[in-house]
Structure 1
């Protein structure tokens, strides 16, 4: 650890998430950056990633189980364990991310009299739910807000939903331009891959040199718009032959299972390529011509940011996050959600309007870099920490 990390005068900030993957993936590098100025402690459920987080970020961690699903008895145990840990550690702030961690952390931090209690809403689940579940999830979000002293929506879409559904009357602040961690533009750099490498990769997956490649990255479930995508692509094949749909993701272990008809179409159509789950999506984005992401709901989709950082224009639905990253006909196209025909027309446009496609390709990377470059996001967050903690 650096000399700064051993400075006992730093104020302690506890960052919480339900699962280690959220700290490891969503906040990669950010915890190390903040640890230069504050003593950062990471809290999440037990898992193999916890020691890796400690090593990579140079911070202390504590494993406290936080169930992602509703589990009253386990939730009460987690609440007590969080309360006890906060009382012992006496942090100046607890800052939570992800819904369940927010509910339990903000409640426990309030009971433990932690002075500053912050929560980042990376997305809201209740707007797409119905009946009792919608009311319950809305109630939980209201509890989070009632116990939090500072509330940070990830983007203006999430902020507007919090206002429109009357979740809270407290001030809501979007940090930087919305994304929680920004993008490292040196990591997401298309020049890292040579033409020869990408041609070999295309050949490995049966993609011809003249094929136009639409790529989808995400869970292969209904909620991500995969049904509309597959059917729109089948319609596109009637008019265009030199085109492939590359699916990077998995449907294994999912509950939002695709219909048998869609699954069969994916398996039987030779122009649809399933690459499965990938740890590094960069080469797959670089060998493609455009991202297509027809999701029903998001907070602030990283894949759209990553595609743009690598110079790809995107077709996205008019939902939170996506409609903030993409500017119509500038770095992509925005279409209505759950609209197979609109998706088909957008894909056809991408293939046929070469001038528009060239313009969007040229804009994609600069538009991400100017708004979501990682150091800009980190410094904006540090500025906010300094603002709210300097006098606490």
Structure 2
């Protein structure tokens, strides 16, 4: 039996889907992974899978390039004749599902890991993109056998927008987190806040930086860390904009890395002021390492926090309240340990990767 995983970015395969791939292999499937470039192929192949490069511009708006991507997928599917496929993120979901349907594949699975910039931005350009993305989503999801959502808000919105019929929808608790790889560690001596994310406006990067700036005025010895790539896309903050926060000592900035656990270990509290998520994997990793959470009362984020127990929810774009919740931890440092334990318990109960992958395997009928 043969299974194909259609990925938009190689790093997400070995960082987020490795445990799922092992479960699929355990069911007797040979797994093939498609990715857009040669980055990190060695890490993918170490999972015991075959890798096929199929070029994809995951953020660009180029109809010809997207059509070429669809045709390459179609040819690949016809050649490999897989028993089942799984795609995730917008372009693999849309074009992968259409290509799979045309290739005659019977078991086509799509996973909505979040809706991101297309559904959160309100600029004129974003609204135009959203209109066409909705049309394409409807076409792609109608080609799918199962559509797996990572939070109930996204699922409801897609149903309400008429993009998918409810009978095709399935719900899991994010991508899950391997709690053997992410374990509790000692907390730093001084309160340290940490945000791990691409440096995108929709991830709440501006709010994190400005809240850090406000807090540092009153508490100059508190540390704020930021780990994540500055990307060449419309939603990304530029390095020119980010640089003053680094030079003024407001944040300690780190680029991308394959070893994120050591950065969680340096943190007291994890912060993600995102406008919307599927279920944020970074938050789950922080919870597995027994860190309290400050995130937003937004789809995907709100499901990771029991208010006042393992952290706090703040409205999106609310810099003042975000800063207030940060200050609360500074004034109540003893609560870091108590809320961290609550995060760990919640993670074990709801977000353990073994539970999530069990549900994924069931929903994909493998």
Q: 2-side partners of 1:154 and 1:313: how far apart? A: 21
In the alignment, is residue 236 of structure 1 matched against residue 228 of structure 2?
no
Q: Show CA shifts across 1:187-236 (max 9, x none).
A: 10134xxx6xx87xxxxxxxxx4x31111111233222222222222222
Among 276, 293, 296, which residue is 2:275 paired with?
296
Q: 1-side partners of 2:288 and 2:301: how far apart? A: 14
Q: Give 3-state SS (helix, strand or coil) of 2:167's partner.
A: coil
Contact 1:175 1:377 in 2 (8 A): no
Q: Can you give the 5+ residue segments of structure 2 that lack an aligned partner in the other structure?
A: none
Let me know the Cα RMSD of the aligned residues: 2.4
Q: 2-side partners of 1:261 and 1:14: how far apart? A: 40
Contact 1:99 1:121 in 2 (8 A): yes
Residue range with higher mean Cα deviation, 166-175 or 311-320: 166-175
Q: Give 3-state SS (helix, strand or coil) of 1:328's partner.
A: coil
TM-score normalized with structure 1 length: 0.84
Q: Can you give the 5+ residue segments of structure 1 that lack an aligned partner in the other structure?
A: 1-10, 200-208
- Residue 132 of structure 2: aligned partner: 136
Among 153, 161, 168, which residue is 2:164 paired with?
168
Residues 39-188 of structure 1: pairs in structure 2 closer than 5 A: 39-54=30-45, 56-68=46-58, 69-125=60-116, 126-129=118-121, 130-176=126-172, 178-180=173-175, 182-188=176-182
Q: 2-side partners of 1:369 and 1:299: how far apart? A: 19
Q: Show CA shifts across 1:213-269 (max 9, x none).
A: 111111233222222222222222343343111122243645445489963541343
Q: 2-side partners of 1:77 and 1:355: how far apart? A: 56
- Residue 348 of structure 1: aligned partner: 327
Q: Which has the larger radius of gyration?
A: 1
Distance of aligned partners of 1:321 and 1:66 in 2 relative to their CA distance in 1, 3 Å threshold: same
- Residue 184 of structure 2: aligned partner: 190
Higher relative contact order (CA closer than 8 Å, sequence separation 6+): 2
Residue range with higher mean Cα deviation, 331-340 or 244-253: 244-253
In the alignment, is residue 313 of structure 1 matched against residue 292 of structure 2?
yes
Give the deviation of 1:314 after TM superposition.
Answer: 0.9
Q: 1-side partners of 2:76 and 2:233: how far apart? A: 33
Q: 1-side partners of 2:5 and 2:54: how far apart? A: 12
Q: Show CA shifts across 1:31-72 (max 9, x none).
A: 122112123222222414335423x22123322223312322
Q: 2-side partners of 1:175 and 1:354: how far apart? A: 36
In the alignment, is residue 328 of structure 1 matched against residue 307 of structure 2?
yes
Contact 1:35 1:59 in 2 (8 A): no
Q: Show CA shifts across 1:57-97 (max 9, x none).
A: 21233222233123222322222222222222222222211
Among 365, 377, 386, which residue is 2:344 paired with?
365
